Structure 1
Amino acid sequence: MPKRVVPEAGRRRRRPTKQGQVLTHQLIVETALRMLREHGAAGLTARRLGLALGADASTVYRYFRGMDDLILAIADELIAHAMAGWRSTGDWRSDLRELGLRIHHAYLAHPQAAVLTASRVTGLPNEVAADETILGVLRGAGFPDADAVRIYHAFIDQSLAFSILDAATLALPAAAREADEEVWRDTYARLPAATHPNIAATAPLLVARMNNSVYPTALDMLLSSAAAQLTR
């Protein structure tokens, strides 16, 4: 049976932690995000989180049912980062492009957390609000509901898939990431035209592009397809 979560007002500490802070749901999530950034997923445990907060590890379970509940809260916090300050322009395509880039940027700002959370469905307030916003943009543009849902599905999955892919690269140790990047210059760019004519012909372009995220290009392609459908 899952642990009972005490309402915020009932679980607030009456005295500060060793760091002089009063524990809150938000403070725990922010501290967990910092720990993920500094130590990766393996470094995020209730014991270490308690130490970072200056509190006993059991205190975390007064706010969250377990560590997976905390992971879902972190996922929802990243979506909150993505949506903060966003305002509709009234142009559906510009609005969706901005939302997609914001989601991608928010996850890449926390690559370790992105790898851990981007595949999760939380049902928490920020995620629900973001989904409502995206569907509202599509329905407001004139897409029938079935098409709005189909494009929403492709849009959000594309955003999250590229977030995981690009975040996983950023989360690699620096030496491994640099070695991967050098492969395009040291291997692909040196393949002879006699055996690999297509790679040899495009090698300079491959070297220039392949270490950068292609998400903006993929996003534009998806939006162009949606725009063509709306025109038809």
Structure 2
Amino acid sequence: MAERVVPEGQRRRRRPTKQGAVLSERLIIDTALRLVTQHGADALSVRRLGTALGADPSSLYRYFRNTDDLLLRLADEFIGLAQEGFTPSGDWRADLRDMGLRIHGVYVENPQVALLAAHRTTGRAHETAAVEKILGILRGAGFPDPTAVRLYHAFVDQALAFAALDAAAQALPTPAREADEEVWLSSYGRLPPDTHPNVAATFPLLAADMRDSGYPFALDLMLEAAEARLRG
């Protein structure tokens, strides 16, 4: 796509698309999300979007500079979804835990989008609002600014890293995902205690725990460490 976005007031398509809808930024975003969810990263192309919308692909230039511009808009959309319904309680640990689980959860529920967008920085409205909220929680808890910034960095990177990891597992074809899960039973369950005493001793717990994401426990460890630093 060329970089020639039309000002917002001039964007409205005068004629409906072949599907009878009027082209809009919202329609393009929803369609792009559906295509990526169904077909993965390769679906995010001008040609496929135009076909799905029933519109000339060149008409997308009126809304987005290029496919990366659209991707960043999708990424910001998901940051916004993570904040929907969030109400600060005044307990900084509870609020950060809630925010972290929301960020992680919205990406894991949409793994194809997570693989494309979890590592991007959008600089857009939803992202800047999230940065403001998280820093506000940390500074309001009493962390000095240098510590608040470092904790913000670690907190967000942890949430997004686990989101990308867990989303990648969710995005695997079902046979591959089930085969990976079976390894904990078929391989680790057969390791003898004379060669792998620690695996053998913890195997039932290990096999059960590895079925789920390690993020909630890792998040709690981070928040406990942050609280200890605040008290110290």
Output the TM-score relative to the length of structure 1. Answer: 0.97
Give the aligned partner of residue 74 of structure 1.
74
Distance in 1 (alpha carbons) for counterparts of 2:208 and 2:161: 23
Give the aligned partner of residue 45 of structure 2.
45
Give the aligned partner of residue 153 of structure 1.
153
The DSSP-based 3-state class of the residue aligned with 1:194 is coil
Distance in 1 (alpha carbons) for counterparts of 2:198 and 2:168: 29
Q: Does 1:141 align with 2:137?
A: no
The DSSP-based 3-state class of the residue aligned with 1:121 is coil
Offset at residue 3 of structure 1 (A):
1.3
Q: What is the aligned residue count?
A: 232
Paired amino acid for 1:214: G
Give the aligned partner of residue 61 of structure 1.
61
Give the aligned partner of residue 204 of structure 1.
204
Give the aligned partner of residue 8 of structure 1.
8
Distance in 1 (alpha carbons) for counterparts of 2:151 and 2:133: 13
Task: Map 1:1-232 to 2 at 5 A.
Answer: 3-232=3-232
Counterpart contact for 2:2–2:61, Cα < 8 Å: no
The DSSP-based 3-state class of the residue aligned with 1:211 is coil
Please list every run of 5 or more consecutive structure 2 residues that lacks an aligned counterpart in the other structure.
none
| 1:160-191 deviation digits (Å, cap 9, x = unpaired) | 00000000000111111001000000000110
Please list every run of 5 or more consecutive structure 1 residues that lacks an aligned counterpart in the other structure.
none
Q: In the superposition, relative to structure 1, how do residues 173 and 208 fare at CA in structure 2: closer, same or farther (>3 Å)?
A: same
Output the TM-score relative to the length of structure 2. Answer: 0.97
Counterpart contact for 2:6–2:61, Cα < 8 Å: no
% identical aligned pairs: 62
Offset at residue 43 of structure 1 (A):
2.2
Offset at residue 9 of structure 1 (A):
2.0
Counterpart contact for 1:33–1:110, Cα < 8 Å: no
Distance in 1 (alpha carbons) for counterparts of 2:27 and 2:86: 23
Distance in 1 (alpha carbons) for counterparts of 2:8 and 2:109: 28
Paired amino acid for 1:95: D
Counterpart contact for 1:16–1:22, Cα < 8 Å: yes
Offset at residue 58 of structure 1 (A):
1.0
**After TM superposition, where is structure 1 displaced by more than 3 Å over at least 4 residues in a row?**
none
What is the root-mean-square deviation of aligned Cα atoms in Å?
A: 1.2
Q: In the superposition, relative to structure 1, how do residues 47 and 71 fare at CA in structure 2: closer, same or farther (>3 Å)?
A: same
Distance in 2 (alpha carbons) for counterparts of 1:50 and 1:86: 35
Offset at residue 231 of structure 1 (A):
1.1
| 1:71-104 deviation digits (Å, cap 9, x = unpaired) | 1111000101101121111111110000000001
Distance in 1 (alpha carbons) for counterparts of 2:132 and 2:54: 38
Distance in 2 (alpha carbons) for counterparts of 1:44 and 1:6: 21
Paired amino acid for 1:188: Y
Distance in 2 (alpha carbons) for counterparts of 1:86 and 1:14: 38
Offset at residue 2 of structure 1 (A):
5.5
Offset at residue 229 of structure 1 (A):
0.9
Paired amino acid for 1:166: D
Distance in 1 (alpha carbons) for counterparts of 2:7 and 2:224: 46
Distance in 2 (alpha carbons) for counterparts of 1:94 and 1:2: 45
Distance in 1 (alpha carbons) for counterparts of 2:188 and 2:77: 40
Distance in 2 (alpha carbons) for counterparts of 1:27 and 1:219: 36
